[in-house]
Amino acid sequence: MATRKMLTDAEASPEARAVFDDIRAKRKTDFVNNAWRALAHDPETLKATWEKAQRVMGPGTLDPLTKELVYLAVSISNKCEYCIHSHTAFAKAKGLTETQYNEFLRVIALANELNATMTAIGTPVDEVFKA
């Protein structure tokens, strides 16, 4: 259920289609997922987002799987159904095992439990934790 049509290749502008083609080339697959088809209504944003995503999520001083899990943790917290499903799949594609996923879910559960409790009590930040 969407507020906009997911654009097919035929419906996308040449600028948007060029991004679709770059996604296909870089990912070595013919499949372009809905996130990009949703963004294609605004080709400039589509292009900027695709370039930023490659830059931010690619290898760096943090490994790609760690980045993927951070992204997924945010997506779960933001209750973004699309993002939860796509980034769980991406994490598995980057090597996340079933056991690691179980551990990840335990961290998510613990953080949410304690975040809520600390917020409820209004626990003051210890001096040693301040910059």
Pick out residues in 70-129 that bind a second copy (CB under 8 A). 70-71, 73-86, 88-89, 97-100, 102-126, 128-129
Q: Does 1 bind a second copy (CB under 8 A)?
A: yes
Q: Does 60 bind a second copy (CB under 8 A)?
A: yes
Q: Binding a second copy by CB under 8 A: which of 18, 47, 57, 94?
A: 57
Rounded to a whole number of angstroms, the minimum distance from the CB of residue 17 to a second copy is 18
Chain centroid to Cα 92, Å, comes to 13
Q: List Cβ neighbours of 90 (8 Å cut-off, separation of 6 or more).
A: 68
Count of residues of this chain found to bind a second copy when the rule CB under 8 A is applied: 78
